[in-house]
A and B are shown apart, each in its own frame.
Chain A
């Protein structure tokens, strides 16, 4: 079945540094990937849609300069949290559109802790 890999699964960083999270579709090509954020005990909130070869589209209230998204190939999207602060600590999850399968496949998530 379709597999989406996220890396790293956990990352701890100091306030002010930048962190990059990768989302890879392992056995299919994905022109579109989606990034979500989940705070503890809460639901998933869509942050942005990552489009291969073009700019990402961000949901209302999500700072595009804060959360940089790059989708340079059909199997890889990256989310960079720039100048991270403790309030950015969260669980970040990506999903990929396995076109033709009518099912969105989710990665295992990346837990970011900013000290």
Chain B
């Protein structure tokens, strides 16, 4: 099956800092989504981005499908950005997402 690798595994940021999270995948994909899992476990969809660039407030994402990677940018980080960020993809069957291991982000005041 498709392999999904996320880096870094952990990230500690001071409030106001910018950061970049990376997701590499081993095969072409139909779907790529970035999620934020809050401390209570709720997964919040951030972006549906199998290719191209999108922005939503302080967050933006870019997927270069031909090179099989996606980047999530967090600008001017806030403590509420803390949590685990997951990249998930599917390739041969819509909706059967393969998740990466996640990046644990801690934003300190």
Instruction: State the A residues within 8 Å of B (CB).
Output: 32, 34, 38, 42-46, 49, 91, 93, 95, 97, 102-106, 108-109, 111
Contacts and interface: CB of A to CB of B under 8 A. Distances in A.
A49 B95 contact: yes
Interface residues of B, number: 20
Interface in B21-60: 31, 33, 35, 40-43, 45, 48
A104 B31 CA distance: 10
A32 B96 CA distance: 10
B86 to A, nearest CB: 7
B99 interface: yes
A56 B79 CA distance: 40
B45 A49 contact: no
A34 B45 contact: no
Residue among A38, A42, A44, A108 with the highest chain B CB neighbour number at 10 A: A44
B51 to A, nearest CB: 12
Interface string B77-95: 0000000001010000011
Contacts of B40: 108
